[in-house]
Amino acid sequence: MLRCKFLLLSFFFLSCNLEFWKDHSPVIAEVENSRLHISELKGTGESGDSLSKEEWIHRIEFWVNYEVMHREALKKGLHKDHATQRLIKNAEKKILVDRLRLSMDSTITVESDNELWEYYENNKETFRIDSLSYTPYPEVVEQIRSIILSEKRTNREKKWLSETKNLYSIEVYPQYLDSLR
């Protein structure tokens, strides 16, 4: 009997659409077949706890208006314009390059507090207030951290580019530089 119940229960689970069991975020607005889910709306910025109901309504209205304008632009064929296609292609490249940079940056860290202190000591003139004093280290430690991380990102990207560029066929034609004036 237990075996029969198990088989029946197994059949029930396998025959059901598994999507049913997933936790879906409710749809809060729709324009034609485009849907705004609550999870997407909450993912648009600051904590939802600090927003009033009117602010949420404003964000939903903004989304609806944006969707309607997008659909109208498509109806007018604006996406087929050569200048628009170039802008879309450039935006896509920028997004992908930014994502690549973010993925490369995720492993860059400041090794120790010693590294921060050494930077401060080696670049003390940068933190000079007047002829006799400097900005105290604790007041500039986060600025130093940002500088070090930025330098590390730049150095890593330069190194990575010099290695990766070798994988591509690259040609530059300097003879045409004069035609740019």
Domain ranges of the chain: 24-79
For 133-165, how does the pLDDT look when each residue is reduced to its tens digit (9 = 90+)?
Answer: 999 999 999 999 999 999 999 999 999 999 999
Parts of the chain with a pLDDT under 50 = 7-9, 11-13, 15, 17-23
pLDDT of residue 47: 55
Q: What is the CA radius of gyration of the chain?
A: 28
Q: How far apart are CA 39 and CA 43, in angstroms?
A: 6
- How confident is the model at residue 21, as a pLDDT? 45
CA distance to 12, 14, 19, 139, per residue, from 8 (Å): 6, 10, 20, 68
Number of helices (H) and strands (E) in the chain: give both, helices first: 6, 2
For residues 47 and 55, the answer to whether their CB atoms sit within 8 Å is: no
